[in-house]
Amino acid sequence: MYKLNVRDHFMIAHSFRGEAFGPAQRLHGATYVVDATFKRAELDEDGLVVDIALAGEQLKAVLDDLNYRNLDEVAAFEGKNTTTEFLAREIQERLVRAVHDGKLGPNASGCSAIEVTLNESHVAWASYEASV
């Protein structure tokens, strides 16, 4: 399996509902370093997994929609705990849509999966992977 990874970061504010979250039930901030890993069994005709520049641009575009936002105020997330795991899936699904919309070039459709990892700190991270 071939893999290509691009990295970016974003900053958000949010709060959680539920006793399991203790003090994180109050509004707090997080800065995530995000790794998006594109996977495919065989390289495309140009010898690529995906175009690295387009992959970086699309990750940035996805993150720009979330960056510097209070996620408690985003209508699409109403009633949801925007945990690291939740956000990893949300970003992964948005990148899959970008592949299907042709935003990573015509050969990106050969990707079999995308994995998104959100590094919350140097000791804690969560990821989500699913088929394209």
> What's the whole-model pTM score?
0.95
Looking only at the bridges linking them, the beta strands covering 125-131 and 28-40 are: unpaired
Residue 69 near residue 111, CB atoms below 8 Å = no
* Spans of the chain, pLDDT less than 70: none
Mind spelling out the 3-state secondary structure of 30-77? EEEEEEEEEEECCCCCCCCCCCHHHHHHHHHHHHHCCCCEEHHHCHHH
Residue 12 confidence (pLDDT): 98
At residue 72, the pLDDT reads 97
Q: How far apart are CA 62 and CA 96, in angstroms?
A: 11
Residue 19 confidence (pLDDT): 96
pLDDT at 34: 98
Tell me the sheet residues that pair with 11: 31
Q: Which two tokens stand for residue 22?
A: 């203790």
Domain map (residue ranges) of the chain: 1-17+27-48+56-69+95-132
Per-residue pLDDT at 71 = 98
pLDDT of residue 105: 92
Nearest-angstrom CA–CA distance, 90 and 46: 30
Alpha-carbon span 46 to 124, nearest angstrom: 36
**pLDDT confidence of residue 51:** 96
Q: State which fold the 1-17+27-48+56-69+95-132 domain adopts.
A: Tetrahydropterin Synthase; Chain A (3.30.479)
**Half-sphere exposure of residue 113, counting CA atoms within 13 Å on the CB side?**
13
